[in-house]
């Protein structure tokens, strides 16, 4: 479980970084609300929003699954989620080539696997 908690904490720090990045861009570009139609601001807002849309649900599912599956499975899913979210954010911000794609695929896989695991556990099939 320690790996899960470290990954969850690091995802929280990623959310803080992405929030501060939006604030920095707002000041720099003098955009107080919305994205002002600015492509860089749009990418920053979406990088943050996408993390907030996916990370909590994935973390919740992984946490629920931890009652039924071993440490390695939970740790593996947690690390893949963290790396995927970091790749996606880096790709959205133009720092990591293909990061957006790789991050989206890995996050979707974590969501799929953890969802199936929780369903199976709920049905008593684990």
Report the pLDDT averaged over residues 74-94.
Answer: 98
Which class for 36: exposed (0-12), middle (13-18), buried (19 or more C-beta within 10 A)? middle
Domains assigned to the chain = 2-122 (1.20.120.550)
Report the pLDDT averaged over residues 1-12.
Answer: 95
The confidence band for 1, taking pLDDT boundaries of 50, 70 and 90, is confident
Q: Mind listing the pLDDT tens digit for each residue in 64-77?
A: 999 999 999 999 99
Q: Mind listing the pLDDT tens digit for each residue in 22-52?
A: 999 999 999 999 999 999 999 999 999 999 9
- pLDDT score of 58 more than 80: yes
The overall average pLDDT reported for the chain is: 97
């Amino acid at each position: 479980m320690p790996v899960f908690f470290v990954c969850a904490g690091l995802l929280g720090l990623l959310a803080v970084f992405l929030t501060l990045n939006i604030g920095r861009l707002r000041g720099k570009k003098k955009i107080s609300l919305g994205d002002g139609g600015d492509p860089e601001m749009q990418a920053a807002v979406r990088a943050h929003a996408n993390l907030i849309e996916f990370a909590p649900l994935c973390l919740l599912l992984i946490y629920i699954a931890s009652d039924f599956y071993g440490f390695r499975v939970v740790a593996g899913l947690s690390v893949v989620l963290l790396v995927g979210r970091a790749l996606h954010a880096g790709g959205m911000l133009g720092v990591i080539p293909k990061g957006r794609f790789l991050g989206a695929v890995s996050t979707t896989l974590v969501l799929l696997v953890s969802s199936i695991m929780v369903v199976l556990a709920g049905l008593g099939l684990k």
